[in-house]
């Protein structure tokens, strides 16, 4: 035993300390330095059979968390003295549990308290108060004992002694009164007056029993019949009638008295224990409440977890069970339906409340219940407002316990228990909690039912859908396919479940294509596009596909949903239209070339003539005796140059007239314009037209098939030449301009100074076979428009007057 004594006296008391962790102890002791004395004990001190002496002299016991069974320790302390304050230190999470253990342990006194280690700062104060309380109590007892001793020794007739005793008794916190052997009051202290709600002068000679309710009389008189030979009796608790509004309780200790006259009587020491009695009652009530709560929860669990019952049957069972538990005749499950509550299920006397019937919202407490998050309880309806008291099926509702039911965040209805008689005991917190739990369970079940119904609809929609649907996990393994998928691919559900989506790959798209597709959808992007896939029978088909990702509640992608339908027919039609257009464009190109023949012939004549001239000159030099090799070389070089010039013209013509596949590639707009201009240069010269090309300061690139765009420019330029044939040669000016257009596009404009187009014909210009020329085909503009639209651009007549026309087209930049 180690005594850690305080340095400064006076100490107010001693605390026995067991199993308290050193740092915790230091924290508490530091704040009580000099106020309390500490006795540190080991476990073995209390394990002994004899009562440790130190315990009887100590004023409080502090049990620490290092003890294996602090409750057992507390019980041993209480066996020695139930009035010693015992504080058990535990972690915050165990306080509630320990409180319950203490509450239900009969061997532990009311002075045993759990204390959370997280509230150590308040502990020194509490310990100090506990010690002071105990010491005060023992000082009272001591005073009473010495007063009794004096009474025995001193003559009652000595006035000083009487005075001394009166003053002593008046200062006591307990009431003291003396009665004769019939119970008539002989004297009473001030505190006794206060406890019994009377004054000594008017109470002398009055039976003490008159201050107690009649049901206490026998017990009281029995307790007063003591004499010196009787064993001291333990104090008894009585109800007194001093305060008529609320019951008061006193603890009465009776001691025998013998007077000089030989008359016998008793001294009654009364202590107001109303608070203690209330606390004990509250403890008993809490215990009962807890027991019934456990019983209800057990039943609730049994009913709700019954496998074979339907939800409806479970609800009905719950309504019946709670009605019997609360002793209330009505139990209702309702659903809000506009201004009324529709009865979903009901338990009622003689089934007066029928399911599917309706009650007005305004005439029940449910209107308020729906607004409240917590259950609404009413123990008795206000009788003064008779007209307002709600009714159910003609029954006046006096007591009510109801909670709202919420499904998917929206108020669904209520669960209500009601009765026509007011309730003496208020609804307990555990009854309210049970109802709340029940409402939550019903809300959860209804939500599940709704989800299941929605899932059924969704899955049947999935099964019926005309589009093929496949659901895969994150890795692309197929989890589910619908019948449309089976029809489209030729694979049955059983064949594909667990396999990868890649079984449909046809080999048309390369690895890079699929890599990009997967990385996109794994980022959460939606894939939309046409895939060429292969059926089970080996044939390929075009599928217009959409792949979307599904995410879980945390936002993580867990699945992919692929939907699609066969667009092979459409693709074939588009392909044939494309081919047809290409044919048309080719024909148009040939026709353009045909129209350009004379100009081209002229253009080719020039190098051919030059070749002839240079060749003749070289021949002459060769025939000369004095061959001048320098001149001969120059002549031959010119022959080669002119031949190359002619060859280039042929190459250009061949390229333009060739029937080739459409090839889109990034191309500088100016290169295309220049190539077209060289093809038409002979025609321009013949038509005496001056061409002004864009200066090329802004030279964007576009993703095009250059031959097709050349064709468009040639068509437009040729139309301009035709339109300018009527104006004077000096005014025949043609401009090709390049400018930026909105949405990352390039605008190319062909501006002429021709006769323009009559306004009333403007609308028809782009119609196929519309022409105003005697030998025109009327396909130039319509083919040009098709080509430009295939390049995601637009061709239009931008300006038109009798002084000229401007045709413009746009192309997206790359
Ligand atoms: P074609 O040149 O064979 O007539 P197009 O489709 O190229 O066929 O042109 C249709 C019509 O549009 C022409 O006949 C002409 O009336 C009108 N047109 C086209 N370009 C111009 C222009 N620059 N100025 C005036 N009219 C034009």
**DSSP per residue over 240-295, as a string?**
E-SSSSS-EEEEEEEEEEE-TTS-EEEEEEEEE-HHHHHHHHHHHHHHHHHHHHHH
Closest residue CA from atom 19 of ligand 1: 719
Whether the CB of 786 sits within 6 Å of ligand 1: no
Whether the CB of 771 sits within 6 Å of ligand 1: yes
Whether the CB of 765 sits within 6 Å of ligand 1: yes
Whether the CB of 720 sits within 6 Å of ligand 1: yes
- The residue assigned the tokens 């215990």 is 287
Whether the CB of 687 sits within 6 Å of ligand 1: no
Whether the CB of 705 sits within 6 Å of ligand 1: no
Q: What are phi and psi of 510, to 5 degrees?
A: -85, 175
* Angle (CA) 144 147 153, round 5°: 145
CA of 715 to the centre of ligand 1 (A): 9
Average the pLDDT over each of 135-149, 305-319, 417-431, 796-810 and give the range with the smallest value.
135-149
The first and second tokens of residue 53, run together, are 């002496």
Whether the CB of 804 sits within 6 Å of ligand 1: no
Write down the pTM of the prediction.
0.45
Identify which of 596, 749, 765 to mutate to test ligand 1's pocket (most ligand atoms within 8 A of the CB).
765
- Given pLDDT bands bounded at 50, 70 and 90, which one contains residue 46? low
Rounded mean pLDDT, 519-538: 95
Distances (CA, A) of 202 to 195, 205, 603: 15, 8, 149
pLDDT in tens, 332-346: 999 998 888 899 999
Q: What is the pLDDT of residue 795?
A: 97
Q: Whose CA is closest to 434, among 555, 562, 298? A: 298
Say if residues 337 and 361 touch (Cβ distance below 8 Å). Answer: no
Whether the CB of 723 sits within 6 Å of ligand 1: yes
Rounded mean pLDDT, 367-387: 77
pLDDT at 686 > cutoff 90: no
- Given pLDDT bands bounded at 50, 70 and 90, which one contains residue 384? very low
CA of 687 to the centre of ligand 1 (A): 17
Rounded mean pLDDT, 506-513: 94
Closest residue CA from atom 14 of ligand 1: 771
- Given pLDDT bands bounded at 50, 70 and 90, which one contains residue 161? low
Q: Whose CA is closest to 368, among 356, 381, 351? A: 381
pLDDT at 365 > cutoff 60: yes
Closest residue CA from atom 21 of ligand 1: 719
Closest residue CA from atom 12 of ligand 1: 765
CA of 366 to the centre of ligand 1 (A): 81
Q: How many Å apart are CA 451 and CA 40, to the nearest integer?
A: 64
CA atoms within 13 A on the CB side of 157: 3
Q: Which residues pair with 800 in a beta bridge?
A: 805
pLDDT at 186 > cutoff 60: yes
CA of 781 to the centre of ligand 1 (A): 7
**What percentage of the chain reaches a pLDDT higher than 70?**
91
- Count of other CB atoms within 10 angstroms of residue 610: 17
Whether the CB of 781 sits within 6 Å of ligand 1: yes
- Given pLDDT bands bounded at 50, 70 and 90, which one contains residue 260? low
pLDDT at 387 > cutoff 80: no
**Cis peptide preceding 625, ω within 30 of 0:** no
Whether the CB of 434 sits within 6 Å of ligand 1: no
Rounded mean pLDDT, 283-292: 82
Distances (CA, A) of 454 to 443, 492, 541, 551: 16, 26, 34, 18
pLDDT at 515 > cutoff 90: yes
Whether the CB of 754 sits within 6 Å of ligand 1: yes
Q: What is the pLDDT of residue 622?
A: 87
Distances (CA, A) of 119 to 15, 28, 94, 129, 670: 19, 11, 13, 16, 85
Q: Whose CA is closest to 102, among 85, 120, 121? A: 85
């Amino acid at each position: 035993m180690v005594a850690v004594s305080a340095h400064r006296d006076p100490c107010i008391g001693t605390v026995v300390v067991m199993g308290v962790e050193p740092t915790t102890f230091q924290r508490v002791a530091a704040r009580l330095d000099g106020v309390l004395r500490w006795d540190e004990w080991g476990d073995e001190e209390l394990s002994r059979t004899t009562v440790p002496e130190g315990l009887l002299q100590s004023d409080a016991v502090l049990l620490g968390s290092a003890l294996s069974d602090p409750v057992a320790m507390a019980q041993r302390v209480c066996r020695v003295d139930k009035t010693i304050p015992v504080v058990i230190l535990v972690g915050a999470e165990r306080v509630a549990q320990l409180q319950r253990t203490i509450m239900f342990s009969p061997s532990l006194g009311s002075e045993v308290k759990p204390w959370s280690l997280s509230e150590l700062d308040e502990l020194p104060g509490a310990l100090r108060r506990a010690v002071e309380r105990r010491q005060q109590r023992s000082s009272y007892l001591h005073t009473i004992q010495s007063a009794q001793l004096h009474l025995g020794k001193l003559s009652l007739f000595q006035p000083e002694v009487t005075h001394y005793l009166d003053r002593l008794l008046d200062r006591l916190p307990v009431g003291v009164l003396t009665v004769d052997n019939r119970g008539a009051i002989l004297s009473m202290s001030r505190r006794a007056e206060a406890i019994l709600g009377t004054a000594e002068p008017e109470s002398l000679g009055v039976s003490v029993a008159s201050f107690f309710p009649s049901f206490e009389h026998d017990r009281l008189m029995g307790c007063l019949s003591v004499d010196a030979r009787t064993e001291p009796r333990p104090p008894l608790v009585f109800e007194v009638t001093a305060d008529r509004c609320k019951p008061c309780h006193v603890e009465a200790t009776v001691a025998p008295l013998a007077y000089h006259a030989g008359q016998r009587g008793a001294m009654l020491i009364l202590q107001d224990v109303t608070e203690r009695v209330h606390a004990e009652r509250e403890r008993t009530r809490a215990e009962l409440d807890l027991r019934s709560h456990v019983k209800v929860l057990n039943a609730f669990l049994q009913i709700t977890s019954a496998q074979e019952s339907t939800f409806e049957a479970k609800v009905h069972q719950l309504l019946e069970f709670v009605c019997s538990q609360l002793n209330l005749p009505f139990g209702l499950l309702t659903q809000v339906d506009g201004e009324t509550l529709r009865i979903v299920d009901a338990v009622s006397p003689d089934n007066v409340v029928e399911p599917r019937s309706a009650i007005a919202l305004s005439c029940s407490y449910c209107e308020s219940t729906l607004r409240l998050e917590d259950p609404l309880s009413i123990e008795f309806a206000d009788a003064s407002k008779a007209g307002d008291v709600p009714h159910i099926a003609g029954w006046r509702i006096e007591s009510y316990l109801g909670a709202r039911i919420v499904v998917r965040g929206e108020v669904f209805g209520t669960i209500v228990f009601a009765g026509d008689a007011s309730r003496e005991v208020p609804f307990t917190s555990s009854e309210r909690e049970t109802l709340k739990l029940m409402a939550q369970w019903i809300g959860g079940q209804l939500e599940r039912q709704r989800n299941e119904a929605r899932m059924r609809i969704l899955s049947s929609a999935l099964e019926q859908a005309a589009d093929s649907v496949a659901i895969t996990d994150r890795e692309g393994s197929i989890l589910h396919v619908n019948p449309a998928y089976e029809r489209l691919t030729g694979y049955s559900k059983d064949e594909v479940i667990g396999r990868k989506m890649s079984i449909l790959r046809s080999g048309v798209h390369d690895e890079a294509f699929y890599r990009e597709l997967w990385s996109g959808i794994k980022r959460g992007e939606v894939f939309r596009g046409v895939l060429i896939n292969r059926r089970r029978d080996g044939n390929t088909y075009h599928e217009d596909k959409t792949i979307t990702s599904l995410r879980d509640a945390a936002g993580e992608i867990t699945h992919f949903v692929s939907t699609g339908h066969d667009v092979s027919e459409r693709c074939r039609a588009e392909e044939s239209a494309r081919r047809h257009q290409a044919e048309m464009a080719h024909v148009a190109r040939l026709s353009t070339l045909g129209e350009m023949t004379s100009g081209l012939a002229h253009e080719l004549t020039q190098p051919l003539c030059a070749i002839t001239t240079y060749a003749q000159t070289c021949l002459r030099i060769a025939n000369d005796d004095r061959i001048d090799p320098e001149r001969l070389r120059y002549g031959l070089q010119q022959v080669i140059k002119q031949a190359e010039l002619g060859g280039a013209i042929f190459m250009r013509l061949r390229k333009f007239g060739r029937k080739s596949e459409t090839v889109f590639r990034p191309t500088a707009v100016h290169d295309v314009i220049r190539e077209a201009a060289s093809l038409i240069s002979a025609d321009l010269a013949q038509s005496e037209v001056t061409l002004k090309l864009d200066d090329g300061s802004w030279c964007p690139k576009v993703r095009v098939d250059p031959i097709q765009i050349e064709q468009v420019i040639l068509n437009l330029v040729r139309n301009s030449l035709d339109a300018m044939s009527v104006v004077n040669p000096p005014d025949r000016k043609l401009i090709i301009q390049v400018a930026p257009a909105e949405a990352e596009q390039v605008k190319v404009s062909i501006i002429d100074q021709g006769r323009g187009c009559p306004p009333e014909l403007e609308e028809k210009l782009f119609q196929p076979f519309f022409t105003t020329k005697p030998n025109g085909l009327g396909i130039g503009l319509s083919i040009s428009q098709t080509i430009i639209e295939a390049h995601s651009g637009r061709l239009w007549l931008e300006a038109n007057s009798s002084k000229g026309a401007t045709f413009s087209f746009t192309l997206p930049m790359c």
